[in-house]
Amino acid sequence: MTRKIIIDTDPGQDDAVAILLALASPELDVLGITAVAGNVPLPLTQKNARIVCELAGRTDVKVFAGCDAPLERPLVTAEYVHGKTGLDGPELPDPTMPLQDAHAVDFIIDTLRDEPSGSVTLCPLGPLTNIATAFSRAPDIVDRVQQIVLMGGAYFEVGNVTPAAEFNIYVDPQAADIVFKSGVDIVVMPLDVTHKALVTKARNDAFRALETKVGIAVAQMTDFFERFDREKYGSDGAPLHDPCVTAFLIAPDLFTGRRVNVAVETRSDLTLGMTVADWWGVTDRAPNALFIGDVDSDGLFALLTARLGRL
């Protein structure tokens, strides 16, 4: 049974790996890729999404450009992590496949209306601006979403862009607030789990040893942003955040978590963008998300290496 998904993304090297994993996996039917401003501005994220599709040999995948700024705040980007292009590391050619004419938000709305209710999963890998805009503009689609599996937030691992906030949620906390309050079944891949999905030297060597265009490019991408993350966290490698989303759709048994209430702070100067997860059930707020806390990282990288080897 294939699962229909829309990948909403701001590539980013780890976004690129998540997209490649999806395109390499017969369990997933990628209906389209929607780009949003985040790691780098929109002109680069929509371009990078097409570069990744071409790297995978999948010029048939439709790529749409979406929102170029958060709902209420100026855009914050992360070139200091991902490099000026967002995909620094490998030398990849500019894309020749076209960008679709329609706006990403319209594509999300139209697809959810056209496909059978409950058959499309949204996979946001960046700020939630496109998803929140679609939900606000077309409230009828909210109940038609099968599930949202997203990378964002943090609780026990605290923030990576401020002391309290993870980057994707911090960039557009108002959008995240809309999504978490939507009532859709949500699975969250926070830093709590993604910081356990580390690209060690051995795991990166396995990508390179595929000796394919994709394997070498992925190794070069992870080499690039590993330098920043090793220096920042003192870890054995860089966390591969976004592939946790697509891996969960293929092999959910690799992950464990807890259904809790997750609320997003939208007003505080101190904790703006914090995902407040009621891990111990100390409030009467109803659980609204499966908050993932652990992963079988060896199993994750075995899956990733095997699938990337198919491209």
Residues tagged active-site: 241
Nearest to 16 by CA among 102, 100, 90, 104: 90
Neighbouring-strand partners of residue 33: 7, 63
Task: Report which of 304, 273, 191 is spatially closest to residue 238, judged by C-alpha positions.
Answer: 191
Please state, in angstroms and rounded to a whole number, the distance separating the CA atoms of residues 131 and 66: 10
Q: Among all chains, which residue has been given the structure tokens 């959910």? A: 252
Helix (H, G, I), strand (E, B) or coil at 36: coil
Bond preceding residue 32 cis, omega within 30 of 0: no
H-state helical runs in the chain: 13-23, 42-55, 79-82, 104-114, 129-137, 167-171, 173-180, 191-194, 201-208, 213-233, 243-250, 297-308
